[in-house]
Structure 1
Amino acid sequence: MKIETESKKLTKPSAPTADHLRKLKISLIDQLQPPIYVGVIFFYSSKNDVHDPSFVPISEKFRLLEKALTETLTLFYPLAGRYVEEKCLVECDDHGVEFLEAKADGTLDQLLHGETDPDDVLSHLATQPPQVDKMPPLVVVQITTFTCGGMAVGLCISHRIADVTTISSFMSTWAMACRGSIQKVIHPCFDLSSIFPPRDLPKL
């Protein structure tokens, strides 16, 4: 199965980050994390019945997902920043997360039922940023549509700034924003460095 990227852009928070939040010191725990990206992929089957009240065209899904992402990033503002290794901090200047739209030339069933080799496909559904970038985006979001109308939402995120709990909270908030209920979200806290401040450590 072939995955082709159709568009790529930076998606920024819907509101600017406050000036006093623009420099986020990472914690010692984050400082010790390996510089890797972790990925997660969610699969959604299609609803092809246009008379179904819950039917949403693909183009509208893309618009809704991106709009909800911009709202979610206002709460998870460090994810739209860039990590500065020499200073052990994230510059939260709303640079944005990478947002990709892609198309697969097969069906979701072919992938989920083992008709195609998942090892050849999964890494292309949650793409990592190029390693050559000096300060790459901390998050890459990829929305891939299949010929059956199904969809995969892939998220690749720097382990330096997020763990599994953060990823889960981010995805839950994004889903609530898609449903228009982001106002019910408990605001995340990013002050772990006040408990475990970074240290001047020798490079391993």
Structure 2
Amino acid sequence: MVKEEQGGGHDEVTMAVTTTTVAPALPTQEHRLPLSNLDLLLPPLDVSVFFCYHHPAPSAAALKEALAKALVPYYPLAGEVVANGDGEPELLCRGRGVDFTEASAAAGEEMRELRIGMVDERVEKLVPAKKAASVMSVQVTKFKCGGAVVGCNFDHRVCDAYSFNMFLVAWAAAARGCSPAPAPSFDRSFLAPSIPAPPSPDALADKLFVPVSCVLAPPAATEAASAAANRIFRVTAADVAALQASAGPGRTKLEAFTAHLWQLHARAAPPPRQRRSCCMGVVVDGRGRLFPDGAMRAYFGNVLTIPYGVMGSEELRGMSLADVADDVHRWVVEAATGEHFRGLVDWVEARRPKPAAARAYLGGTGGGDAAACIVSSGMGFPVGEADFGTGLPAFASYHFPWPAGAGYVMPMPSARGDGDWVVYVHVSPELAKAMEEEPTVFRALESSYVFG
């Protein structure tokens, strides 16, 4: 057990911090679980998620008890990331456990005083840090009003948002004493490479990914990442519908949103110079593409690709939303096939153990000349199932301040269940300012909207 005191500064949120380790309720037979070829496309990035609960909030004791139960089927989350003989990451599963931090808000601190939309002010202190080798950590912060914030942090190399959502649902069900959800699958044969390998390389995989050894990162990438602004906006259901209508028939809400963001990005060209082009990427899940019959529905791991488009800023500014949405649709559909995902698995296999990266992070094939931004849909976020026995959260969001030069934007459903979206953004200060100043779509996240 580790105890730590925090406080003294006017911006401090927590004090009286205690950290323990929660192990699976049943012992785990020690073994090593390889990461899949698609897991290996992910760099060592940590992703956070947090839930805000009114009084009565779930207690730390109840959360820990349920966590121990949920970690039995989801045992990789209690493991450690280690290197194999080739230097690639893999999971050592021996039931190490999950670090669980209990914290109390500073004296007199009310949860409704948190300006959650201004992420950099407070949210950073409500999600836990994670030890380098561990897979997951949890923090519960109690407030004077009886409310609490439950924050989690997980290693993206081990699972994607879809997988972690499955775990969150199972954890909440365990807290409520409900029947366990179907067990997750760690069957790597779903993503096994072809034997023998195809005679010709996958052209689309070559377009979307590149070996890290071939990347010459622009010097400004680290500076752009450190200077990025983190915000949470809301988009009303009416604005979502209006965007989709403007994007034209047959276009999804996410395609319309991405097209709007792409044009906004073109009007807010970030430093170090007024870039002449903008790269927009979209994260695509491949479970249903590889197995339309739903065989991968319970698969735990990464099954992602990131198609992208690059277009001149002036051209983007002069196009209609419908024309931009058509372009987004074209390159998203091109990658959303089982053939592409099977080809991507083989593409990684042919280059192992050399790591690779998505070109969308780097501005496309131009090697970083274009200003880049990635959209990842969080519409499967299980905010309506995150009841740990005391009721649904008043608010919930992902938090992903990644150390890359590209922007990152993730829309997800509002906890109100009214069709509104909550949009987490990690973007250049210029793009954040453009979002704040535009007259439609991106609206400030007021405390009254979050806490009533």
TMscore range, shorter length: 0.7 to 0.9
CA shift, 1:194, in A, is: 5.3
Cα deviation per residue 1:145-164 (whole Å; 9 max; x = unaligned)?
11111000000000010111
> Is 1:120–2:113 an aligned residue pair?
no
Matched with 1:14 is: 25
> Is 1:39–2:48 an aligned residue pair?
yes
Contact kept? 1:37, 1:128, Cα under 8 Å: no
Runs of 4 or more above 3 Å deviation: 196-199
RMSD after superposition: 2.2
**1:187–1:100 CA distance, 2 compared to 1 (3 A):** same
> Is 1:2–2:9 an aligned residue pair?
no
* 1:11 maps to amino acid: V
| Structure showing greater Rg | 2
**1:203–1:30 CA distance, 2 compared to 1 (3 A):** closer
Contact kept? 2:88, 2:353, Cα under 8 Å: no
Contact kept? 2:33, 2:93, Cα under 8 Å: yes
CA shift, 1:195, in A, is: 2.0
**1:110–1:37 CA distance, 2 compared to 1 (3 A):** same
Paired residue secondary structure (1:98): strand
Separation in structure 2 between the aligned mates of residue 77 and residue 37 of structure 1, nearest angstrom? 18
Higher RCO (CA-CA < 8 Å; seq separation 6+): 1
* 1:185 maps to amino acid: A
Separation in structure 2 between the aligned mates of residue 31 and residue 139 of structure 1, nearest angstrom? 18
Matched with 2:154 is: 157
Q: Provide structure 1 residue ranges, at least 5 long, that are not aligned to the other structure.
A: 48-55
Separation in structure 2 between the aligned mates of residue 193 and residue 159 of structure 1, nearest angstrom? 20
* 1:121 maps to amino acid: R
Separation in structure 1 between the aligned mates of residue 148 and residue 55 of structure 2, nearest angstrom? 7
> Is 1:141–2:293 an aligned residue pair?
no
CA shift, 1:41, in A, is: 0.3
Separation in structure 1 between the aligned mates of residue 180 and residue 141 of structure 2, nearest angstrom? 29
Matched with 2:114 is: 111
Matched with 2:80 is: 82
CA shift, 1:185, in A, is: 1.1
Q: Which moved more, 1:10-19 or 1:138-147?
A: 10-19
Q: Alignment partner for residue 174 of structure 2, among 148, 173, 177?
A: 177
> Is 1:27–2:36 an aligned residue pair?
yes
CA shift, 1:40, in A, is: 0.4
Separation in structure 1 between the aligned mates of residue 28 and residue 93 of structure 2, nearest angstrom? 7
CA shift, 1:193, in A, is: 5.5
Contact kept? 2:29, 2:93, Cα under 8 Å: no
Q: Please, what TM-score do these two structures have when normalized by structure 2?
A: 0.38
Q: Alignment partner for residue 61 of structure 2, among 49, 60, 63?
A: 63
**1:193–1:96 CA distance, 2 compared to 1 (3 A):** farther
Q: Provide structure 2 residue ranges, at least 5 long, that are not aligned to the other structure.
A: 1-11, 194-347, 357-452
